[in-house]
Structure formats: structure tokens, C-alpha cells
Copies of this chain bind each other. A is one copy, B any other.
Amino acid sequence: MKITILGGGGFLGRKLAARLAQDGALGGKPITELTLFDLAAPAPLATPFPLRCLGGDVADPAAVAAAIPPGTEVVFHLAAVVSAAAEADYDLGMKVNLQGTLAVLAACRALGTKPRVIFTSSVASFGGGQDAVVPDDGRQVPTNSYGAQKAIGELLLQDASRKGFLDAVSIRLPTVMVRPGRPNKAASSFVSAVVREPLLGLSTDCPVPPEFAVWICSPRSTMEWFLHAATMDTTPLGADRGINPPGRSATIAKMLEALETVAGKAAREKVGFAFDREIYDIVVGWPAAFAATRARRFGFVEQESLEELVQAFIEDDLAATKADRGL
């Protein structure tokens, strides 16, 4: 089975590549080739199957076609300009998040073999804010350009699935924490920072108050969801290819409690609060809770506890993050 990861050099793309390398197979079928595609060719990793690492722009149809060779059965479309960056540069967001998804659609359609496409949509495609508990048929009224572009990507891939051009599952990812590395341009960067920075021995300021709730999930759950979306029977999904996965609603205060439980009081005390209006204005529109009944029925696994999530970061990513940041 040939697999392509677009955005394969990013946080979730690299984790996914590592997982596929470890498993050597997907849904019981041996992997025969993996293509990692990103703006700059992703660094190679050790794999038990042939690996191609390509650089290119996902908005360039020829580059995307090269990344999705004939025989590709599964495409993970993770390439995106994230929330705060797409808000700051509307044209860049439209190019990558809209024209990019159109290029992916065209390349998959050209194969003529209806590949499975896993699209990473986002909680940011919903409005509603702190008080909402989004039902499975909740309407997407995005309050930011990134969210609008994700909702549009879902509509495009859903219709392309109905037409038989490809076979899409769009996972509306919660904010994935703990993200390794450095703070990034996602408006939700602080959600990871409040746990990661203290574990690195660094202080950090949280731009929203402690009672602010976020719909979150872990990288480990995300990988389970990706693999399930890649191998599940899509027939029961019907026309609606969007999945609200079973994440977890957590306040900053609860995250800090989990941090203290796992890493002690000193870690927790590294976190201060400094309100940031610009960030707050973006994230305040995102709903903090979802029903996610449909996803559970379709076999998407439950998110682990906050303590397990903090522990997993220590096991999976702390050493690499320290090395990466020269700490």
C-alpha cells in the first residue's frame, strides 16, 4: 500500500510518519511506499519500506500530483497555514488552505482509483464559544479565516466523495496538546505552552484566564484517530464526511492541576497569566465542548486523561524538545 502525507514535515505529519514506520502496515496491509511532502523536503526517517521526501507547495497542482503517485491508496492531507497565520495573511491562507485542497482533490481524482483522504479540519471551523456544546449536526459558523477555509475544504472533499473522485474522512481536530518544540503561530499555541514550558524548566504567560476551557486531545489519540479514519468503512458515514472526534473539554486550571500531579508544584508555579486581547479574540469563538456521539459510534477511541497526556509528553517528546531547543 502506497501512502502520502502532505504536510509530512509538521508536528502531526512527523508523528504519523514515525507511527507508520513502526507499524510497517496499515489496516493489515504492508506499506510499500511512503511519500512525505512539505514546503521543504522533510528529513528522512528510518522506515522498513521505501520512503520519498519531497519539497513543494501544496497549492501547486504539479507538485501535489508528483506527491500522490499512481497506486496511492491513502492520502493524509495535513498541509496548512494555521490559525493566527491565516488570520494575519488572508491571501496566504486562501492559497494554501483553499487552492491547496483543490489541488489535492484534483490529484486524487486524476488517479481514478478513489483514494482514501484524511483531512485535518479543526474545532476552529465552529463558532459558539465557551458555552457551546456542539452537537454532531452543529452548524459551522467560523469566526476566523482558517476555520472558514477548513469548513470549505470539508465541503469540497465531501462532495468529491459523493461524486466518487475520492473517499474522504474529515477529522475536526481539537487543539492537540502537548505540542513539542517551540511556541508557534497557532492562536492556540498557549494550550501546549502552559504544560511544555514548565516541563522544560521555563516560565510562560498564559494569555487567557484560568477558567478558560479548551477542547483538546493528545498526539497519541490523534494518531489512533488518523489510523482509524484511514481504514474504517466509510459507507455508514453517508453524505456527511465530517467527524467531531471524542476529545476532552479542559480548563487551563485543570491542565495546571494535571501538570502539578505529574511534575510537582514547582512546575505549576512557572505559569503566570497575562491577558492577550489578540489571541483571546480568536480563541474565544471556538467551542470548548462537543457531543461527539457519532464519532464514538463509528469507533473513534476516547481521549485519555490529562495526567496521562502530560505523562505521554514526558515519555514521547520531552527529551527531543530539550535537545531541539538547546536546553
Contact = CB atoms under 8 A, between A and B. Distances in A.
Interface of A: 90, 127, 137-143, 145, 148, 151-152, 155-156, 158-159, 162-163, 239-240, 285
Nearest to A143: B239
A156 B159 CA distance: 17
Contacts of A162: 143
A126 B90 CA distance: 28
A127 B239 contact: yes
Given A137-B138, A139-B139, A142-B239, 10 more contacts: A137-B139, A137-B141, A141-B158, A142-B158, A143-B162, A143-B239, A145-B159, A148-B155, A152-B156, A239-B285
8 contacts: A139-B139, A142-B159, A142-B239, A145-B163, A148-B155, A148-B159, A152-B152, A152-B156
A148 B154 CA distance: 10
Contacts of A151: 155
A293 to B, nearest CB: 15
A142 B156 CA distance: 10
A244 to B, nearest CB: 12
Contacts of A159: 142, 145, 148
A163 B155 CA distance: 21
B142 A139 contact: no
B239 A90 contact: no
Contacts of A141: 137, 158, 239-240
A137 B141 CA distance: 9
A281 to B, nearest CB: 12
Contacts of A90: 163
